[in-house]
Amino acid sequence: GTFGLCMGGGFAYRAAAKYSDIKCCVNLFPLFLSMVENDNIPRWMRQGR
């Protein structure tokens, strides 16, 4: 399974949706980058994608 916290929850959810062999996905406060305005995302987070 996958596990994510805050922004990682969005990545964990996408991984669970992409790979059908992942049976469980635990999200705590999932935060998707598409839900956050670009100005509110720190520069180091934008560089990572």
Residue 27: CA count within 13 A, CB half-sphere: 17
Residue 6 contacts residue 28 (beta carbons within 8 Å) = yes
The per-residue pLDDT for 47 is 54
The per-residue pLDDT for 3 is 46
3-state SS, residue 27: strand
Q: Each residue of 2-43: pLDDT tens digit?
A: 545 454 555 666 666 665 554 544 554 455 555 555 565 555
* Domain segments of the chain as ranges: 2-47
The per-residue pLDDT for 40 is 54
